[in-house]
Amino acid sequence: MSEWIGNGLAGWAEQLLAREFDTLLVDEPSPQVLRVTLNRPEASNAFNTQCGHELFAVFHPLELDRERFRCVILTGAGDKAFCAGGDLKERKLLTEDEWVAQHEFFERTFRHVINCPVPVIAAVNGAAYGGGLELILQCDFAYASRNARFALSEVTLGIMPGGGGTQTLPRIVGERRAKELILAARPFSAEEAHAWGVVNLVCEQEALMDQTLAIARRIASNAPLAVRQAKHSIHHGLQMDINSALMFEIEAYQRMVKSEDRIEGVRAFNEKRAPVFKGR
């Protein structure tokens, strides 16, 4: 990371795409769409320490370089699990201090996902338990296969959700339902997740990536500065009272007026052609 920062992040994306990760697959299935695949299918794509470090290495530079990619897809390898949460086989070997240090790093990684300036879409290809569900809740929205299953089951292990689940889930499904799901460690289906707003779309397994790529391409075709500012306004405005949020929205909007993309968008509309946005 230090060499990317010192070099103005030049070439970081190409290095990222060329890198061979131990726990991830990273590719660009469509121009300016980054796909990050949790790649530990033999362990239900559970997080281990290495996975946390590698996710950090992917998402940290995305906060710094806001031009190379316009959308991110986060998914899991195989057709059984998106992510089973923390790797308990690894964790049973950790001391208490090592457990605390590992979890603090996972928290930092998750914050980079939720703070990513470009939209992040989860393609939930199977079971999402514990930290796997929390990772989905950090994304902007999610599509799921019909076989996906969800649960925050930490209380059955003597712990509690610690990857943001006690904060993100109530904001999506409401306080009372979130308490039921977390305190009872109650699993729920893809259809329930859709009804409650955890996922935006449920489809057949074989159609999941096509559907997710279609919406990612649509996002990537729009003016990137405008998309980022709109995401920024929604995310932070929801933490404010309505009058403060409206003022925040105005500030976000005004930054678009002098952009090249705003000029191009209006010109393309009047010339009846597709706009060519450059993120400037």
Tokens of 101: 């240090």
Name the residue type at position 165. G
What is the β-pairing status of strands 127-129 and 149-151?
parallel
Catalytic residue among 28, 67, 98, 134: 134
Which two three-digit tokens encode residue 252?
A: 């976000």
Contacts of 52 (CB under 8 A, 6+ apart): 102, 105, 106, 109
Q: Sort residue 227 into left (φ over 0), alpha (ψ -120 to 50) or beta.
A: alpha
CA distance 13 to 19: 10
Q: Which of 129, 122, 173, 165 is nearest to 144 (CA)?
A: 122
Q: Are 38 and 83 in contact (CB under 8 A)?
A: yes
Determine which one of 14, 90, 154, 251 is catalytic: 154
Whether residue 180 lies in the annotated active site: no
Strand partners, 25: 37
154 is catalytic: yes
* CA distances (Å), origin 102, targets 23, 53, 188, 197, 276: 16, 10, 28, 30, 44
Inter-residue contact 169 to 137 (CB < 8 Å)? yes
Tell me the sheet residues that pair with 38: 24, 76
CB-based contacts of 190, cutoff 8 Å, min separation 6: 124, 144, 145, 146, 147, 148, 149, 150, 199, 202
Catalytic residues: 134, 154
